Amino acid sequence: MKLAKKIEIIFFFFILDILITGCLEDNILTILDFEINNSADLLLYLEGNGDYFNSLEAPAVLNSNTVYYSLGTSLVIDIRTPEEYQNGHIRHAINISHDNLFEYLKNISTDYSYSKIIIVSSTGQAAAYYTCLLRLYGFNNVYFMNYGMASWNIDFAEPWISALNNSSYLNFFTNFTTQKPDYTRLPSISFSQENLNVEEKLDERIALLMNIPFDDTRHSNLNSTCCIDFDTFMRTEFDNPNSYLICFGDDGLYYYGSQGNQLNPGHPRGTVLYKAIPPYFELRCDKYLQTIPAEKTIYLYSYNGQLSAAAVAYLRELGYEAKSILFGGNTMFYSRMSDPTYDWLIRWAFIPSDIPNFPYEIE
């Protein structure tokens, strides 16, 4: 009871501060009567303690060149399967499964001298998801390697290369804008006990989400807890009224050519744009987070699937049922992503010829 009262007081002064500083838009005032629940408790805590996800620190990604030249001072953790690890891994990398990673880092957090802890997966998307969760918990020196092992050596690039595609569903695309819906309540989250403080809630929630598998290697016939491939989404979920599709990027990803030019449609019809890049950070509570419908399944795509994977980790932490569309724009419209004349997007395109082919070890 005292905890609930304390949260209400904190929330009151939080809203008061927003109103005084002018950060809250007038139309957000319609949501101020919602009940303080576990999701709001976590949201206020996260935004009051660095707000990692909505900061310049996110998504905490390093390219393979940076990883290679920092191996002497960094701990590299490979979260692929033991078989994948044994078939080739970065020198001195240790193999830890995603469901053991959280406890491992908590146990060594006061007994290591590494400047960086670098999470490596097959394509970078699973690593982006787990890295975001670990950052939300407070592991501020955790990063993930861009494009995963696929960016280390061409021998590991098949999952990415086979995903590069121009979808057959482009005829469902448009350049017309779908507006964000009205503000709504945050999702409801249940915990093992009712009297947990917010740090204990965060710990329990992170542990739960770290245990969920994130399969970042498949590009077809996948619909799992945290991710889905694009064609499967279009085939099974696109017309589902309980689906909510988000383009998590910017205008350059959402549109193609001039806005409204139907000769070059940019996004699946009905897609809502939430701007991820600075200075927008539209998933903040004083921006548009609460326009995301809590009762629907949220599907997000980004440039290459890594930013959307991090967003899924953040949204699931707050109780949303969210899934990342694997490989993002690279599997939806690769010719557009890799077009050298469209230099805004090519920086997020997977280019096989750019792979440096660093050495690796086999067990």
Q: Classify residue 228: in a domain, yes or no.
A: yes
Q: Classify residue 340: in a domain, yes or no.
A: yes
Per-residue pLDDT band at 32 (split at 50, 70, 90): very low
Q: Can you give the pLDDT at residue 35?
A: 59
Work out the percent of the chain whose per-residue pLDDT is above 70: 87
Q: Classify residue 24: in a domain, yes or no.
A: no
Asked if residue 315 has pLDDT above 60, the reply is yes
Q: Classify residue 261: in a domain, yes or no.
A: yes
Q: Comparing C-alpha atoms, which of 292, 336, 295, 328 is closest to residue 310?
A: 328
Q: Classify residue 13: in a domain, yes or no.
A: no
Q: Is pLDDT larger for residue 260 or for residue 179?
A: 179
Q: Can you give the pLDDT at residue 20?
A: 33
Residues in the chain: 363
Q: Classify residue 226: in a domain, yes or no.
A: yes
Per-chain mean pLDDT for the chain: 89
Cis ω before 241 (30° cut-off from 0) = no
Distance CA 253, CA 268 (A): 12
Per-residue pLDDT band at 218 (split at 50, 70, 90): confident
The amino acid that residue 271 corresponds to is: T
Domain range enclosing 295: 165-346
Number of domains in the chain: 1
Q: Can you give the pLDDT at residue 18?
A: 42
- In our burial notation (b when 16+ CB lie closer than 10 A, e otherwise), range 112-137 reads eeeebbbbbbbbbbbbbbbbbbbbbb
Q: Comparing C-alpha atoms, which of 51, 139, 67 is closest to residue 103?
A: 139
User: What is the pLDDT averaged over residues 335-348?
Assistant: 89
Q: Classify residue 129: in a domain, yes or no.
A: no
Q: Can you give the pLDDT at residue 111?
A: 58
Per-residue pLDDT band at 23 (split at 50, 70, 90): very low
State the burial class of residue 267 (Cβ atoms within 10 Å of its Cβ: 0-12, 13-18, 19+): buried
Q: Classify residue 21: in a domain, yes or no.
A: no
Q: What is the CATH number of the domain that holds 283?
A: 3.40.250.10
Distance CA 49, CA 175 (A): 38
Q: Can you give the pLDDT at residue 12?
A: 42
Instruction: Determine phi and psi for 185, rounding to 5 degrees.
Output: -75, 160
3-state secondary structure of 301: strand
3-state secondary structure of 171: helix
pTM over 0.85: yes
